[in-house]
Homo-oligomer: A and B are copies of this chain.
Amino acid sequence: MTEGGLLIIVAHPDDETLGCGGTLALHSEMGKPVKVLCLTCPDDERRRELKKAVEVLGIKELTVFNEKRLSDENETVNRISDVIVSTRPEIVITHLNFDYHREHRLSSELVKEAVEWAAHTTTYAEPWRVDRLLEMEVNTLIPNAHVLVDITKTFNRKMEAMECYSSQLVKFPDGYYQRFTKLKAELRGVQGGCHYAEAFIEEPLTKNSPFYQSKSTSNLFRGAK
| A residues neighboring B (CB under 8 Å) | 6, 23, 26-27, 30, 32, 69, 71-74, 77, 90-91, 96, 98, 100-102, 113, 116, 121-122, 131-132, 134, 139-150, 153, 171-172, 176-177, 179-180, 183-184, 186-187, 189-194, 197, 201-202, 204-224
Contact = CB atoms under 8 A, between A and B. Distances in A.
A139 to B, nearest CB: 6
24 contacts: A27-B219, A32-B221, A71-B73, A71-B74, A91-B220, A91-B221, A96-B143, A100-B143, A100-B208, A132-B222, A140-B143, A140-B208, A144-B208, A146-B207, A148-B207, A149-B216, A172-B210, A180-B191, A183-B190, A184-B187, A189-B216, A193-B214, A193-B216, A222-B222
A30 B208 CA distance: 27
Contacts of A208: 100, 139-140, 143-145, 191
A85 to B, nearest CB: 17
| Prevailing SS type, chain A contact patch | loop
B180 A192 contact: no
A220 B190 CA distance: 19
A100 to B, nearest CB: 4
